[in-house]
Amino acid sequence: MILGSGLGGLADSIDQPTRIPFEAIPQFPLPRVPGHQGCLIFGNLGGIQIAMLQGRCHLYEGWSSEEALVPLRTLIDLGIELVILSNASGGINPRFRSGQVVAIDSHIDWLFQGPKIPNPNPAMASMLGRSHRSYDPLWIARAQETAIELGFQLSTGTYLATLGPNYETRAEYRAFAQMGAEMVGMSTVPESLLAMRSGVPVLAFSVVTNVANPDLPSATEHSDVLEWSKVARSKLEPLVKTIASKYF
């Protein structure tokens, strides 16, 4: 699992954790954004083994896509069975509300820096010319069923990734809405593409930290993003823990 902005506290729910700072692992990039601690944690969650990346590196920090993906690529090489991604996003869909957890079921890639796969085998090479696999519908359904058991509804939506680090203008929000985006952020898509192309199912959650109204001027600070992410932890933490205990 990769923890996005303000969600690093989810790592506190891991039992018997072994913590390794990114700086102690060769070739691991170091996050430079508040709310991303930069720590690899192994342990148990809901009775199953988990590897958790507490924080991520964004492309706008100056990392290349290949550099930023080293931590996830390392875990894929170790044989993980499921990738759970999380991020903080701006809400475009007016039905969403601040602090809401949404499952990503599709994305729009405005980063244009997908992960490279060196020397793909013939089967992989033929797949790269086609559209990527979707966010895993089975795991989305399981997450929605689990959310109902926990007393809330888990909506789904399309996530648009931009490079950043600036937040969007009102005109951009209008354009993104017309394109079909319901949330916008600055991460996740390269990680999901890497996992999908590596044959690992992906379950991704986005925490809506502010819902934009293109007709009204407003300002969003990173501190606001972190605060709304903390609110969402009360739903995301039991959701992930219950999914782990039920399906592994």
List the structure tokens of 130.
Answer: 């086609």
Can you tell me the distance from the alpha carbon of 95 to that of 82, in angstroms, rounded to the nearest whole number? 29
Q: Is 81 a catalytic residue?
A: no
Which residues of the chain register pLDDT less than 50? 124-131
pLDDT at residue 128, rounded to an integer: 47
pLDDT at residue 241, rounded to an integer: 92
Q: Is 36 a catalytic residue?
A: yes
Can you tell me the distance from the alpha carbon of 185 to that of 93, in angstroms, rounded to the nearest whole number? 14
Q: Is 132 a catalytic residue?
A: no
Which one from 11, 52, 58, 182 is the annotated catalytic residue? 58
| Identity of the amino acid at 150 | L
Q: Among 140, 166, 165, which Cα is nearest to 154's? A: 140
Q: Is 135 a catalytic residue?
A: no
Q: Provide the β-strand partners of residue 42.
A: 18, 51
Q: Is 107 a catalytic residue?
A: no
pLDDT per position as a tens digit, 235-248: 998 999 999 999 98
pLDDT per position as a tens digit, 201-234: 999 999 998 887 665 555 555 566 666 667 778 8
pLDDT at residue 131, rounded to an integer: 46
Whether residue 165 is preceded by a cis peptide bond, meaning omega within 30 degrees of 0, is yes
Q: Is 119 a catalytic residue?
A: no
Beta strand ranges found along the chain (DSSP E): 2-3, 15-21, 39-45, 48-54, 83-91, 100-109, 155-161, 183-185, 202-211
Which one from 1, 11, 13, 61 is the annotated catalytic residue? 61
Which one from 1, 68, 88, 195 is the annotated catalytic residue? 88
Beta strand ranges found along 6-47 (DSSP E): 15-21, 39-45
Which one from 13, 86, 187, 206 is the annotated catalytic residue? 187
**pTM across the whole model:** 0.87
For the chain, counts of helices (H) and of strands (E): 7, 9
List the structure tokens of 5.
Answer: 């902005």
Helix H or strand E segment including 109: strand 100-109
pLDDT at residue 217, rounded to an integer: 57
Taken in order 140, 159, 204, 133, is the CA torsion positive or negative? positive
Q: For 2-247, CATH number? A: 3.40.50.1580
